[in-house]
Chains A and B, each alone.
Chain A
Amino acid sequence: MTTKQAPTVATWLMKHFGCGPNTDAVLGDLAEQYAQKSRMWYWRQVLKGIPVSIVREALGHKAIAVKAIVTGCIAWFVFLALFPSLVYGFTAPSGPSFDLFHYLAHPLIAWAALWVPVAFSLLSQSGALFLTE
């Protein structure tokens, strides 16, 4: 008997961006259920499960979440200062709209897209977040 192979990319996303002490158990449950479910169901479970686990961990570890956000913003500003041409091209835009975008939107984008999932994923995999476990 062959077992149905779960979508590889979705599994990878859950493994690396899903956080919490039970990510492995969640993946096991998804693999078990996937035998009777569709590919769409699996993706839905992963895409809804990742934000839920991130929010749960962020609320459960507020100090670490704040540090991650601050670090992400600082890293992004340093990156912008060192390599502006990589972000804006060779002609940097100017004016008030640029300032607003620069100072508000970019750090938020950087934080949401990169830092929080990565930081929590790394910390949860190293066990640093779950010392009581």
Chain B
Amino acid sequence: MRKGAYLGQFELMVLLALMRLGDDAYGVTIANELEQQTGREVVIGSVYATLERLQDRGLVSSSLGDATPERGGRAKRYFRITGAGLREVRDARRSLLSLWKGLPELKGER
């Protein structure tokens, strides 16, 4: 794992989506979750590129599922957040909350 490397915004969003989805986290569900929460279209390839990077850092693990006909016989790859990933999310949350604290309310909030 890279020491001192911060999570990027999209990386953090993907990790949070993994936590929300639990055992059902694969490309489609992760992309849908991100789209629902952000209202923006997500490129599935970008989700995988991010997941591969997070996997290289030991923050997520993956396993292959079954192939299904509606996927053209291709298997799903399921992703799970690891203990190190949870720690990173917790650290990121702490840092962000601390940075937000004391800031005046933003225009348009509420």
Contacts and interface: CB of A to CB of B under 8 A. Distances in A.
Contact of A28 (B31, B45, B74): B74
Interface string B58-85: 0000000001111110111100000000
B36 interface: no
Contact of B56 (A27, A45, A60): A60
A32 B46 contact: no
Contacts of A29: 26-28, 31, 44, 71, 76
- Describe B's contact surface by its main secondary structure: helix
Interface string A25-56: 11111111101000001001100111011011
Given A22-B77, A49-B43, A52-B43, A31 B49 contact: no
A55 B74 CA distance: 24
A127 to B, nearest CB: 15
Interface size class of A (residues with CB under 8 A): 20 to 34
B75 A52 contact: no
Contacts, number: 83
B70 A48 contact: no
A3 B45 contact: no
A68 B44 CA distance: 27
Contacts of A28: 27, 67, 71-72, 74-76
Nearest to A49: B45
Interface in A77-113: none
A35 B77 CA distance: 19
Contact of A3 (B41, B46, B69, B74): B69
B53 interface: yes
Interface string A7-32: 00000000000101110111111111
Interface of A: 3, 6, 18, 20-22, 24-33, 35, 41, 44-45, 48-50, 52-53, 55-56, 60
